[in-house]
Amino acid sequence: MNGPQGSAFAVVVDQIEPGHVKPYEVVREQVGHDWLKAQQLHMADERATTIMLAARRSGGLEKAVAGTTDAAAMQKDLPLSRMQNAGLPAALLSAVFATAPGKTGMLAVGDTLYVFTVTGTQAASAKSTKALRASMQNQLQETVQSDVPTVFVHSLENQIKPVPNMPVLQQVLNAAAGQP
């Protein structure tokens, strides 16, 4: 099978075991664990939804959790940018950047639920954009360095209309492959 970036892999199947129902005694512990985990996730989802709805009614997450045990778990005034993202998941960052200031949202990433209120936006400082500008300048220089020769060759091909000498080309390919 073909993989990303030109990679490939193969899978060899030595044995196929048909599906079957396992006795409850064998899977009792796993079933109990899975059921408990599902109940915990359901309760967390209900709690996060309640907080999100309260935040939307009260004008923000900080007001919604004020005076509750959830206030201690809240991260407040967390500055985010596409360059400095506090190690948050990409899906959460996408949701935050797509949310208008003053609005509250909720997102599940894996088993973790996030409730957030975007309190505002501000222009990036010159210091914070310095690394981004340097990176973009390097990328632009590399692009120009690779594009200029390509454009030059294409313009020459349009003017000259080269005709490859196939017998000589075949000899070169054979020589490179170690064939006489």
Do you know the residue count of the chain? Answer: 180
DSSP string, the chain: -B-GGG-B------------PPPHHHHHHHHHHHHHHHHHHHHHHHHHHHHHHHHHHHTSHHHHHTTSTHHHH---S----SS--TT--HHHHHHHHTSPTT-EEEEEETTEEEEEE-----PPPHHHHHHHHHHHHHHHHHHHHHHHHHHHHHHHHHHH-----HHHHHHHHHHHTT--
pLDDT at 46: 96
Domain-terminating residue out of 117, 138, 165: 117
Range of the domain at 132: 126-176
Same-domain pairing of 68 and 108: yes
Same-domain pairing of 49 and 100: yes
The pLDDT > 90 percentage for the chain reads 36
Domain count, the chain: 2
Average pLDDT over residues 55-84: 86
Residue 180 has pLDDT above 70, yes or no: no
Residue 83: φ, ψ to 5°: -90, -40
Same-domain pairing of 58 and 137: no
Same-domain pairing of 42 and 93: yes
Q: HSE on the CB side for 12, CA within 13 Å?
A: 1
More confident call, 56 vs 142 = 56
Rg, Å, the chain Cα set: 29
pLDDT at 91: 92
pLDDT bracket for residue 149 (50, 70, 90): confident
Same-domain pairing of 42 and 103: yes
- The 8-class DSSP code of residue 177 comes to T
Domain-terminating residue out of 92, 117, 142: 117
Residue 62 lies in a domain: yes
pLDDT at 145: 83
Residue 83 has pLDDT above 80, yes or no: no
Strand partners, 159: none
Residue 42 lies in a domain: yes
pLDDT tens column, 150-174:
888 888 888 888 888 888 888 888 8
Same-domain pairing of 68 and 150: no
Same-domain pairing of 112 and 40: yes
